[in-house]
């Protein structure tokens, strides 16, 4: 793996409830110490951020909190929205923007996503910007790009490590972004093959991040 980032592991819980204490207990049972070079980020749903923040502090594990989304608006009359400043109160340090499910199921456009990236960057978040292929425009200031082919998300059919490496290499070349992740059916038994590729610096994990032992196995096998 390249020197820029040595293993960035992001768990995206999506709209699933994940009990923080139980998850952290299971994580620790597989991985008592997070390897020094690994960075672990979990992204619970909004209502569970508070529990997660407290449970991580109590557990004393070096796990960071991320958000699955944020509002493109500032605080104010925007019913149902969660602006960046509110996320900061929960110690959120990173935000996923442009996940394929938000593009396809909620109709988010490149323009809206670019505005979200501006909001996130203004708030000092690390932006994890998701793209389906090399044709997607990546807003400036984004530091992490996650290549997630839609057909591989939740399907049990990951891309090949060689193709993912080639796509991520091209995206880095086109955008100047230095950290590239692969996402789509990453599991404990295939993570090492992705992270062995030179352009892949980490993984974005959905289903296999929902239990602490499975996600810890991913961090262990990928580090």
- In the numeric block, the tokens 């070349």 are attached to 173
* Residue from 5, 101, 148, 197 carrying the catalytic annotation: 148
Residue 154 interacts with ligand PGA (CB under 6 A): yes or no:
yes
- Taking the C-alpha atoms of 79, 56, 181 and 15 in order, what is their torsion angle to the nearest 10 degrees? -40
Tell me how many residues contact ligand PGA (CB under 6 A). Answer: 13
* Residue from 5, 48, 99, 101 carrying the catalytic annotation: 99
Beta carbons within 10 angstroms of residue 107's beta carbon: 8
Residue 207 interacts with ligand PGA (CB under 6 A): yes or no:
yes
Residue 180 interacts with ligand PGA (CB under 6 A): yes or no:
no
- The CB-nearest residue to ligand PGA is 206
Which of 98, 128, 130 is CA-nearest to residue 115? 98
Among 63, 114, 191, 204, binds ligand PGA (CB under 6 A): 204
Shortest Å, Cβ 89 to ligand PGA = 25
Among 184, 188, 202, 222, binds ligand PGA (CB under 6 A): 184
Residue 186 interacts with ligand PGA (CB under 6 A): yes or no:
yes
Read off φ and ψ for residue 46, nearest 5 degrees.
Answer: -50, -50
Alpha helix ranges (H) inside the chain: 20-30, 49-59, 84-88, 100-106, 110-122, 161-175, 191-195, 212-222
Shortest Å, Cβ 218 to ligand PGA = 10
Residue 97 interacts with ligand PGA (CB under 6 A): yes or no:
no
Which of 28, 33, 29, 34 is CA-nearest to residue 9? 34
Residue 144 interacts with ligand PGA (CB under 6 A): yes or no:
no
Residue 198 tokens read as 């030179």
Site residues, ligand PGA (CB under 6 A): 12, 148, 153-154, 183-186, 204-208
């Amino acid at each position: 793996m390249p020197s820029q980032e040595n293993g960035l592991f992001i768990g995206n819980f999506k709209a699933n409830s994940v009990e923080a204490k139980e998850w952290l207990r299971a994580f620790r049972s597989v991985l008592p110490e997070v390897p020094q070079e690994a960075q672990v980020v979990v992204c619970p749903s909004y209502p569970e951020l508070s529990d997660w923040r407290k449970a991580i502090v109590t557990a004393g594990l070096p796990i960071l909190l991320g958000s699955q989304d944020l509002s493109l608006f500032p605080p104010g009359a925007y019913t149902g929205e969660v602006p960046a400043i509110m996320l900061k109160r929960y110690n959120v340090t990173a935000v996923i923007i442009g996940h394929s499910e938000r593009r396809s199921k909620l109709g988010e456009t490149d323009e809206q996503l670019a505005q979200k990236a501006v909001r996130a960057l203004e708030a000092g978040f690390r932006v994890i910007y998701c793209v389906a292929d090399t044709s997607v425009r990546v807003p400036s200031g984004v530091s992490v790009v996650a290549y997630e082919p839609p057909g591989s998300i939740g399907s049990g059919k990951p891309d090949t490590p060689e193709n993912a490496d080639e796509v991520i290499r091209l995206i880095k070349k086109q955008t100047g972004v230095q950290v590239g992740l692969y996402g789509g059916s990453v599991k404990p038994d295939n993570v090492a093959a992705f992270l062995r590729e030179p352009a892949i610096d980490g993984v974005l994990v959905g289903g296999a991040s929902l239990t602490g032992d499975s996600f810890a196995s991913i961090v262990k096998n990928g580090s």
